[in-house]
Structure 1
């Protein structure tokens, strides 16, 4: 049973190379990702390097290397630089468009439920979520948040994979507690708001 659940964790992360990296099954790839993210964060956040200048310098260096490699190869009868055909497949574009469509429709559905349907509970959830994001953003900039996201993605899945039974037990207890408190708030506060009462009478 535990092994099946661990397999489910791997599948929930995509079941491919990305899942192997996040679960540290490919240690080399995980180390490269972690070191690369840390190096970039240090360059842009601590060393004060500009991301636009860094990108331009890297591209300039690559173009110069490829140019002189190709020239020397033609003079010395050496093979040309092995540059693959970098193309975005139509399948990848359609898949990305489908994902974007799902997210957009979900956002529009939430907006419609709030503005037209007058869903007070959903409105409070959205307000709290946006306030929480704004509160966290006041402490960190976007790059630091992105780096924290990389660190969490490299640590949380593997820890959950290792201690899944204990974590699920704690999450069930926390879920029951939050659900109980939410029902108390719902009964004591939300049900006393006139808009909620009117909607209930119309439904009846």
Structure 2
């Protein structure tokens, strides 16, 4: 494990403890500005809970059609057809507006001028903020992988082994695209159902959680003392 003092300043700043670059805006602990993070969380929450039916329906429908297309065709074909469809719409609209302007002899200009003038460049500060956020998650994932594969805790490593063993059966029935389709259906379906039947679901989940803890406690009680799960 590297000494924290020798880590990159970008990684240090992501943890909120390192110095920031001269002239750059200080980054709060935990990554980007908390207001931006909370607004993004609220946007995702509103999306999966169907607060705006039109917006959620568009995102859900578009992504589902994309996944279904990938299940039937290759990635290259799907991407090519999407680009061709988009170009067909924009080129047709551009030609249509040009003809209308020629007939009416108007000076409206390019129909997409407002979008062409938008500033979509990514600043170096924003790029570094995204990199800092990504590094936090990457470091956390690497630490978890090392902890599981080098068996720091036997119970946790056994849990991973059981899950991977079950996934071999899942992989024999479903491919990756099918799992993504099912995942999207669950993401856009479960939150709405849970919000509607929250009380009943919490009751049954509590029962299952208590039974699971009881079973795990019995299993750990039968393990040798040196491999029992350490108390938190």
Taking structure 2 as the reference length, what is the TM-score of the superposition?
A: 0.63
Work out the CA distance in 2 between the residues paired with 1:87 and 1:133: 42
Work out the CA distance in 2 between the residues paired with 1:114 and 1:44: 33
Specify the alignment match of 1:86 in structure 2: 120
Q: Does residue 187 in structure 1 map to residue 221 in structure 2?
A: yes
Structure number with higher helix proportion: 1
Specify the alignment match of 1:196 in structure 2: 227
What are the ranges of 5 or more consecutive residues in structure 2 without an aligned counterpart?
1-37
State the 1:22 CA deviation. 1.1
Q: Does residue 100 in structure 1 map to residue 134 in structure 2?
A: yes
Q: Secondary structure at the match of 1:25?
A: coil
Q: Does residue 22 in structure 1 map to residue 52 in structure 2?
A: no
The alignment yields a C-alpha RMSD, in angstroms, of: 3.4
Q: Secondary structure at the match of 2:224?
A: helix
- Provide the aligned length of Structure 1 versus Structure 2: 182
Q: Does residue 53 in structure 1 map to residue 77 in structure 2?
A: yes
Work out the CA distance in 2 between the residues paired with 1:101 and 1:152: 29
Q: Secondary structure at the match of 2:182?
A: helix
Q: Secondary structure at the match of 2:41?
A: coil
Work out the CA distance in 1 between the residues paired with 2:162 and 2:87: 48
Conservation of the 8 A alpha-carbon contact between 1:23 and 1:157: yes
What are the ranges of 5 or more consecutive residues in structure 1 without an aligned counterpart?
1-10
Q: Does residue 142 in structure 1 map to residue 172 in structure 2?
A: no
Conservation of the 8 A alpha-carbon contact between 2:48 and 2:191: yes
- More relative contact order, 1 or 2 (CA 8 Å, 6+ apart): 1
